[in-house]
Amino acid sequence: MNYDRPELRDRLAAAYALGTLRGAARRRLERLMSSDATLAAAVEDWQRRLNPLVEALPPVDPPARVWAAIEREIAATTLTEQTVTRLPAGDASIALRTIALWRNFAIAATAIAAALAIYIAVERPEPGDAIAPIAVLNDDAGHAAFVASTARLSTRLVIARVGAGTGAGPQRSYQLWLLPHGGARPRSLGVIPDLRQTVFELSVENAKGLVDADGIAISLEPAGGSTTGLPTGPILFKGPVTSD
Amino acid sequence: MTEPNQPSIAAFPSPDGLSRLLLQVAAGDRRAFTATYQEAAPQLFALALRMMKQRDLAEEVLQEVFVSIWVKAGRFDPGKGSALAWMAAILRNRCLDRLRTRRPESSIADEDAAEWTDPAPGPLDRALRSAEGRAIWRCLDRLEPGPRNAILRVYYEGLTHAELADRATIPLGTIKSWIRRGLTRLKSCLDE
């Protein structure tokens, strides 16, 4: 269909706003709108014209349980919205560009791409909600060893190894720590079972802490992780959480 | 959080008031979000009920929409219409998505057809708060009853042309041409 004809464009925009355009045709127009500003503007114009109709309906109070459910959901997303403001925005290509600022670009990009592939397969984030790196963990010599990434509206943190590196060794584990703002005691995010890449499901508290954390670190611990709640072995890898 | 009070017409903030609230929501202000819900939810819930025809579905949609408003408030542009209209657009999209996959077989509309025959609220119910709200009714009143009611039923009930033709027992071609002509006239009247 030729969407360039102004009258057709306007008719489709009106059908979209009125709601008579449905199903696959509706989805198709939505896709077009994201790349066609004139079409998007025509739809907005029609929505602006028609949607004041909502004002004419006599209001009906929703039951209290609706608000209670909204509040519960908001509590879970609030922290990630705050996290977002610190994340490099956008899509995978931006994530890869960001990584390029660091060393070991090629290896990092490969690892991130792999992590991305897995993340998308698991999470199917909305467009624009792609994963982006928030910290590079270096070893003592300053070589990048791991990259921590997260995505908009997600409490998940992906740790991917970007250096060659060796494992923790027998009877040892690598444990991931959040270094809270202001030098407070490290908080365990968990033992890293797979050094190539592991997806951590963060608690709300830890995801909030990530927003203004000083950094992320990995320590060497007895197999299964520290039993004291704090790092007992040496901090092997460490890096600051980046903001925009 | 107490149950939101039903806002009286007088207590309803000016359209600008609701826009301001939404801009505060965009900045992450939870209190502004609560106020936005209290002011706008009853109106949006009324629309969700009309479109979904089932209370539980309408509640679900309203919940999803307000979570979405919390997340997307930053995309609201006060220069492009009222805050309520912006929220209504999100709600209608969500309802239409739901209706696409699931049109209830026995809907309230079929049982209480009479109630839905004239979807145009009576003049007393037209508690129109914005200039835009007044303008669209002024222009709708200039249309003939056929096109006017077709547009209103499609808008408020989330019907397709074919569904409306079916329910109103009017030929599909007539419905299509009523809506097409009606929208054209509505546009030129509103853009005057």
Domain that holds residue B182: 130-192
- Is residue B45 included in any domain, yes or no? yes
Predicted local distance difference test score (pLDDT) of residue A62: 96
The span from the CA of B108 to the CA of B105, in Å, is 10
DSSP letter at A63? P
Q: Kindly state whether residues A152 and A203 are assigned to the same domain.
A: yes
Cα distance from A91 to chain B (closest Cα, Å)? Answer: 18
- The Cα-based distances of A65 to B4, B67, B112, B183 in angstroms read 11, 14, 27, 38
Residues A98/A92, Cβ–Cβ less than 8 Å: no
DSSP annotation string for B147-181: HHHHHHHHHHHT--HHHHHHHHT--HHHHHHHHHH
B15 with B103, same domain? yes
* Per-chain mean pLDDT for chain A: 75
Residues across chain B: 192
Q: How many domains does chain A divide into?
A: 3
Tokens of residue B142, six digits: 């200039």
How much of chain A, in percent, has pLDDT values that exceed 90?
28
Q: Is B132 on the interface with A (CB under 8 A)?
A: yes
Q: What is the DSSP-derived secondary structure letter of residue A218? A: E
Residues A224, A181 share a domain: yes
**What is the number of structural domains in chain B?**
2
A41 CB near a chain B CB, below 8 Å?
A: no
Contacts A26 to B, Cβ<8 Å:
96, 100
Same domain? For B96 and B156 the reply is no
Final residue of a structural domain among A33, A57, A81: A57
Dump pLDDT digits (tens) for B18-60: 888 888 887 777 888 999 999 999 999 999 999 998 999 999 9
A1 falls within a domain: no
Phi, psi of B64 (to 5 degrees): -60, -40
Subunit contact B43:A68, Cβ cutoff 8 A: no
Q: Summarize pLDDT for A33-72 with one digit per residue, the tens.
A: 888 889 999 999 999 999 989 888 888 999 999 999 998 8
Q: Which of B93, B95, B91 is nearest to B66 (CA)?
A: B91
More confident residue, B137 or A155: B137
* DSSP-derived 3-state class of residue A1: coil
Query: Which residues neighbour B16 within 8 Å (Cβ) at sequence distance 6 or greater?
Result: B78
Phi then psi for residue A126, to 5 deg, are -65, 160
Say if residue A116 is in the same domain as residue A138: no
A18 with A99, same domain? no
Indicate yes or no: CB of B136 within 8 angstroms of CB of A60: no
Give yes or no: residues A191 and A236 share one domain: yes
CA distance A33 to A14: 13
Residues B136 and B165 grouped into a single domain: yes
Q: Is B3 on the interface with A (CB under 8 A)?
A: yes
Best A11, A27, A28, A53 member to test B by mutation, with max B CBs in 10 Å, is A53
Same domain, A91 and A51: no
Name residues 142-181 of chain B within 8 A of A (Cβ). Answer: 151-152, 154-156, 158-161, 179-180
Q: Could you tell me the CA-to-CA distances from A12 to A22, A26, A46, B69 in Å, in that order?
A: 11, 9, 10, 25
Token pair in block for residue B176:
């299509």
Task: Looking at the structure, tell me whether residues B105 and B174 fall in a common domain.
Answer: no
**Amino acid in position B144:** E
CATH number of the domain to which B175 belongs: 1.10.10.10
State the residue range of the domain holding A93: 64-123
In this predicted model, what pLDDT tens digit does every residue of A132-147 receive, in sequence order? 678 888 888 888 888 8
The CA–CA distances, whole Å, from B9 to B34, B40, B129 equal 18, 12, 8
Residue A164 CB: number of other CB atoms within 10 A? 9
Q: pLDDT band for position A152 (50/70/90)? A: low
CA distance B181 to A195: 64
